[in-house]
Amino acid sequence: MPQFILKLEDIDGQRFVLRGPEAFHVTRVLRRTEGSEVELFDGEGGKYSGVIRKILGDGTVEGDIVKRSQAPLKAISVDLHLYLGVLKKPAHWEWALEKGTELGIASFTPVITPRTIVQTREISKNKTERWHKIIEGAAKQCERGIFPTLNEPQNFREAVPSAAKRGLLLLGWERHPGASTYAGLRETLRKAREENKKGLTVSLFIGPEGGFSKEELEIAEYEDANFFSLGPNVLRAETAAISAASIILYELGAL
């Protein structure tokens, strides 16, 4: 059964209200009527089963909450934060947002680098609103209970030191000496998991189409970043981001 986004401010005890696009989807697309059951989630871990009691003239849906639950906890708590260079083609960046949300990435940060074609001034409010909608749609589709955070764009030289303070810092580099295999990444993750059995925060940096500059690599090295490659083939940035995220979450037991 599809689930719908319910804002926390639209919950009053055992009553709920659905408005806007979510209400439209329920009543006009799926043709749900009074007495129909609906599955809801608030994007912060809360899930609800409800029953529609009234459909107002403006399309607003009112109903009763009959069951509440929380998103299940995983065996190990892993917060994976993706720092991805803003990509030239919007569709490529949006694909990474969608698939990363499905995988369980905790946050996305658009990163501006010297080789980033799109700069901060070109990231409009309309564009970020569209990104939020993509994240919400992906969360609904995969029945994810918690929305990932979409952060403001950051410059690489500022983002790396900040991320280094949070936990394990990983940087994908296609020219890494161990480019023929990702065994080095697996070993890094194994050690991190042994040292952080209750939970781990991982910051993953993937560059834009042109990759990272020598200066950026030196900054990351200074912050004790763990460099890795995903094999001999040079992957597109969005492919590298999702491939690396899948490996990281799998090796850490969170996928």
> What pLDDT, on the 0 to 100 scale, is given for residue 123?
76
Q: What is the full per-residue pLDDT of the chain (255 aa) written as tens digits?
A: 788 999 999 999 999 999 998 999 899 888 999 999 999 989 888 899 999 999 998 999 999 999 998 866 555 589 999 999 988 888 999 999 999 999 999 999 999 988 787 766 667 777 889 999 999 999 988 888 889 999 999 999 999 999 999 999 999 988 776 555 667 788 899 898 888 877 899 999 999 988 899 999 999 999 999 999 888 888 999 999 999 999 999 999 887
Residue appearing with tokens 């580099």: 173
| The pLDDT of residue 142 | 87
Residue 14 contacts residue 48 (beta carbons within 8 Å):
no
Residue 106 is predicted with a pLDDT of: 95
Q: What is the model's pLDDT at position 120?
A: 65
- The domains found in the chain, sorted by start residue, are 3-70 (2.40.240.20), 77-251 (3.40.1280.10)
DSSP 204-241: EEE--TT---HHHHHHHHHTT-EEE---SS---HHHHH
Single-letter amino acid, residue 113? T
pLDDT score, position 74: 57
Q: What are the angstrom distances between the C-alpha of 253 and each of 108, 124, 128, 194?
A: 21, 37, 31, 12
